[in-house]
Structures are given as C-alpha cells and as structure tokens.
Amino acid sequence: MAGTKRKTTRPGINRNPLSKSSLLPMSAQSAHEMSLAHHLALAACRGNSANRHQINELVRTVYMAYFLQRMGFGDIPFECYEHAEAAFESALGVAAKCGKWIINEQDAPVIERLLALHDQQLSEAPMHRVVEAEQQLRQFLAGTDASPLVRPKSD
C-alpha cells in the first residue's frame, strides 16, 4: 500500500500501553489485606496452629519480595533471603518428622523483616510489576531450577 507507514516494534516490547491501574500501586485496602494475611501466617507459624498453607504463604511472600527487589523495589541484603530459605527448609524438616508447621523464634525476625519489605513494596510498586513478579514466581514453582535464594556451593 503506497503512502502507509508501518510502525516498527522491537521484540519483547508491549504494543499496548499500560492502563492507569497497571501503572499505579494496588489500593491501600488491598495491600493492607494482603499484608494482614502474611503477618497472620507468620503468627500461626510461630505458635502451634499453623499448617502447610501458612508456610506456603510465607514462602510465596518472601519470593515475591525477592523478585520485586530485583526490579528495584527494596534493598535488603541477600543473606536475609538465604536465611529465610534455610528457615523454610528447617520448618519442612520438622513438619516431615512430627507434623508441626513451625518457624522457630531465631528465624522469625528475618522473615518479619522480609514481610515488612513486601508490605512497602505492595504500597509502592506499580501493579504491572507485581504481576510480573507473580509470573516469575509461577515460572519458578513450575520449573525444576534451584531456588534463586540459595547461592550455589563452590567446590
């Protein structure tokens, strides 16, 4: 067709502009409700009333915090994530032995710190970044790769 110009787009670039709701953080009420669920899960895991769901909630939250931090939302040392990962492994070991889903008191503060970071992220990160972090989490959970929260051991 003579006289028409085609826009050239780079691969991997969204063709549609993001909506206003995608560019803004989630509502304060939604962020508060999610935060409450995360903190209640930790409270349950510190006592004797936790189950697999609460541990999974904490694991997902820590991974979300990590993925959002990699996008520039937060600045907590990587060692905190490693510590949290070790705490979850320990909790899974205890659950396998005696059926109790517990985060021990020595590990709880680092998880609290990461939950606080995630609270901040939810109030500041645009929704399209939160959705992107959720996609990264789903890809990781569906795959067979090692956890990004554990550094490979050097021989």
pLDDT of residue 18: 81
Quick check: 24 pLDDT over 90? no
Quick check: 153 pLDDT over 80? no
- When comparing pLDDT for 96 and 145, which is higher? 96
pLDDT of residue 15: 64
Quick check: 6 pLDDT over 60? no
Collect all residues with Cβ–Cβ distance below 8 Å to 92 and sequence separation of at least 6: 55
Quick check: 81 pLDDT over 60? yes
In which band, very low, low, confident or very high, does the pLDDT at 77 lie, cut at 50, 70 and 90?
A: very high
> Are 150 and 85 a contacting pair, CB within 8 Å?
yes
Question: What would the two tokens of residue 42 be?
Answer: 């930790």
Which DSSP string corresponds to 8-59?
A: P--TT--SSPPPHHHHSPPPHHHHHHHHHHHHHHHHHHHTT---HHHHHHHH
> Are 38 and 62 a contacting pair, CB within 8 Å?
no
Q: What is the Cα 115 distance to its own chain's centre?
A: 9
Quick check: 3 pLDDT over 80? no
In which band, very low, low, confident or very high, does the pLDDT at 139 lie, cut at 50, 70 and 90?
A: very high
Say whether 155 sits in a helix, a strand or coil. Answer: coil
Q: What is the pLDDT of residues 30-74, one digit of tens each?
A: 999 999 999 999 999 998 889 999 999 999 999 999 999 999 999
Question: What would the two tokens of residue 48 be?
Answer: 């004797």
Q: pTM of the full predicted structure?
A: 0.85
Quick check: 76 pLDDT over 60? yes
What whole-number distance in Å separates Cα of residue 155 and Cα of residue 139? 28
For 1, which DSSP code?
Answer: -
Q: What is the pLDDT of residues 82-120, one digit of tens each?
A: 999 999 999 999 999 999 999 999 999 999 999 999 999
